[in-house]
Chain A
Amino acid sequence: MLEFDGLHKSFGSNRVLEGVGFAVAPGTMFGFCGSNGAGKTTTMRIAMGLVRPDAGEVRWQGSPLDLDARRRVGYMPEERGLYPKMKVGEQVAYFARLHGLDAAAATRAASVWVERLGLGERRGDPVEKLSLGNQQRVQLAAALVSRPEVLILDEPFSGLDPVGVDSLAEALLDQCRRGVPVVFSSHQLDLVERLCDSVGILARGRIVATGTVEELRRRETGRLLRVVVPDAAAHWAAGLPGVRIVSERAGDTLLELAADADDQAVLAAAVGTGRVTHFAWQQPSLVELFREAVAAPQEVAA
């Protein structure tokens, strides 16, 4: 298990993390979502030893992720970083060596990965001569070249074209099949929904929702009700017991019902306003779950 446990971090008076915790099982992919500035990057940087937490720790297989253990982690930082003047093949081999491979193994692994990511012909070119998409591939090669036991990737998909997204997704699924726990952050929630076994949503310094997308959906299903009442005045549903207005736009209303709230009472109230053109339980997409989780003032997560 890769465990993030009770991470706290403040920068001056800005409290970024207030007890972030989640776990990722070997061979699963964990999608890490959150608004800009929610603390995703800080969480990952803590795991990589680049930021020291005020409290909490990150563990791999039960022991703290220290410098030695971190050499077995493949990491892709949010701000991509490579030596601009170093040749592709040498650069990947250098990172392999920093992760503990000997010279011969590093050279071999580097040429395998450079080939595999379609950079074979660019092996001898300095990185700065490559397109951004190809630089990103070198970055991925640098993260994967040492056969890491864990992968931590900060926004790996940003800036990739659809073909690049597909090939990166394929590479990550490959790693998962090898038994590697993969954590990645992304704003592309459709991608997270498609790839990830489980999802964590970070807001206000905490994980506000975590579980498989199915679990999150099941937890939410039956609780979100969409009612379209074109003639209703604003806040028509306000004051109904156990009902919270999630959104309301020209009568298109999304309501969240507490477990004991009576949907029939809502329907009655809706009919009372005039025409009812739509009344149904919502199957929320991850985007909606995300909005819901990020907006909610109280914790939703189990």
Chain B
Amino acid sequence: MSEPRSLSSTSMIRLVAAREISARVRDKNFLISSAVILVLLIGTLGLQVAFSSGGEETRIGVVGDVGQLGPALEAQGQALEVDVEVVEFDDEAAGRAAVEAEEVDGVLVAEGDPELLVQQSAGGALQAVVQGAVAQLSIAEQLSAAGVGALDVPKVSVRALDPGAEQDQQRVVVAIIGVGVLYGLLILFGQFVAQGVVEEKSSRVVELLLATMRPWQLLAGKIVGLGLLGLAQIVVIAVVGVAGALAFDLVDIPGELIGTAVSVVLWFVLGYAFYAAIFAVAASLVSRQEDLAAVVMPTTLVLVVAFLVGIQASADPDGALAAITSYVPGLSPLVMPVRQAAGDVAVWEIALAVVLMLVAITGIVRVGGRIYAGALLRTGGRIKMREALRAERV
């Protein structure tokens, strides 16, 4: 048997992190929530595909003068936003057979009085297209019969005020989805961290753990372990989402989609470090799962506010509220990615937000680590933060 050796901080943190991961990936709640998120994501993609391919199309058979009727039908179709495909038939019998075989939606017999053959009834678009085309041809014929030649109709030219509007719209949607995922995962993994801390306190196993390691090693291991899981999950979501959107051709801006996905993943890392540390410290103040909700509530509220501000920022990415909150640590992870996606952000602005966030995380880990250390071994009731700071052990 090999003799016990002394352990470095890194190997201690690695041990704790590995335990967190292996405990969590076998936890039914985690597996179910992961599956639900993926199903939701794929469902959303499917819906998008269904909606975007929603244009009507119709096949119209023509017996008679296709040379004039064909272009007229197609022009009408365009005006009514219906894809029209014109098929020519030699006689009425061939057209009738095609209708019965459902090869075409209807056949226009344009010999003598025009007649539309359909299986049962003419759909709204079909009839409108045919009626419009026939009327137009007939007006043109009557005009030329009355001696009116080519009409001089002024053509309306279109000048777009905001040519990129649709792309902007897509950017905003992508940013909102990204921030929504970010928000959901921050809440989820924050809860995991908090529950884990309370579990160790309520089962008293923490006393055995702290006999072999320092509180900050335990805290770091827990946050790193769950963080890696969270990172893996958001990367999977980002990859599936982006790959799906590209595969189904849902976006016109693939480059920016990928950029937004990457920035959401990076902001997840910062946001998670920030919130996980706060959740862990808050959870260390109580000893029972029942008391947990009360202590994590304020932090959850901050997250909700950050999410709402992020949504607001998508509507007004260059407004004062979005600009200011995108620097505030804790709010920035949910606001800055929206601004990056939907508006114009200078590199220095992002750098400033990141630096402020890193400073805040350092401060929280320093102070929070002391509270955590002081509160871990005290059970019963809820501990005041000041008491925990005073009771700090190591």
Contact = CB atoms under 8 A, between A and B. Distances in A.
Interface string A86-99: 10001000110111
B4 A75 contact: no
Interface stretch (B172-180, B206-214, B245-253): B206-214
A101 B393 contact: no
A98 to B, nearest CB: 4
B15 A50 contact: no
Given A51-B393, A71-B7, A101 B2 contact: yes
The range of chain A's interface size is: 35 or more
B207 A79 contact: yes
Interface stretch (B56-64, B129-137, B197-205): B197-205
Contacts of B209: 98
Contacts of A51: 377, 393
B2 A50 contact: no
Nearest to A86: B23
Given A98-B209, A105-B1, A82 B6 contact: no
B386 to A, nearest CB: 14
Interface in B316-359: none
Given A67-B214, A100-B4, A81 B393 contact: no
Nearest to A108: B1
B366 interface: no
A37 interface: no
A72 interface: yes
Contact of A81 (B4, B19, B205, B394): B205
A75 B377 CA distance: 16
A102 interface: yes
B211 A72 contact: no
B5 interface: yes
B203 A84 contact: yes
Contact of A71 (B6, B199, B206, B207): B6
A244 interface: no
Contacts of B211: 48-50, 70, 73, 75
Contact of B208 (A72, A81, A85, A86): A81
A50 B393 contact: yes
Given A50-B211, A52-B393, A147 B199 contact: no
A98 B203 contact: no
B7 A79 contact: no
Interface in A251-288: none
Contacts of A80: 204
The range of chain B's interface size is: 20 to 34
A92 B204 CA distance: 16
Given A79-B207, A82-B203, A83-B205, A71 B4 contact: yes
Contacts of B212: 67, 70-71, 98-99
A147 B203 contact: no
A109 B213 contact: no
Contact of A82 (B19, B205, B214): B205
A109 B199 contact: no
A121 interface: no
Contacts of A81: 203-208
A77 B210 CA distance: 11
Contacts of A100: 4-7
Contacts of B5: 100, 102
Contacts of A72: 4
Nearest to A94: B19
A161 interface: no
A290 B212 CA distance: 34
A72 B212 CA distance: 9
Interface of A: 45, 48-52, 67-68, 70-73, 75, 77, 79-86, 90, 94-95, 97-102, 105, 108-109, 142, 146-147
Interface of B: 1-2, 4-7, 12, 15, 19, 22-23, 27, 199-200, 203-214, 377, 379, 393-394
The 7 closest A-B pairs by CB, nearest first: A81-B204, A100-B4, A81-B205, A79-B204, A77-B207, A48-B211, A98-B212
22 contacts: A49-B393, A50-B210, A50-B393, A52-B393, A68-B6, A71-B6, A71-B7, A71-B212, A73-B211, A75-B208, A75-B211, A77-B207, A81-B206, A83-B199, A83-B200, A84-B199, A85-B27, A98-B209, A98-B213, A102-B2, A105-B2, A147-B4
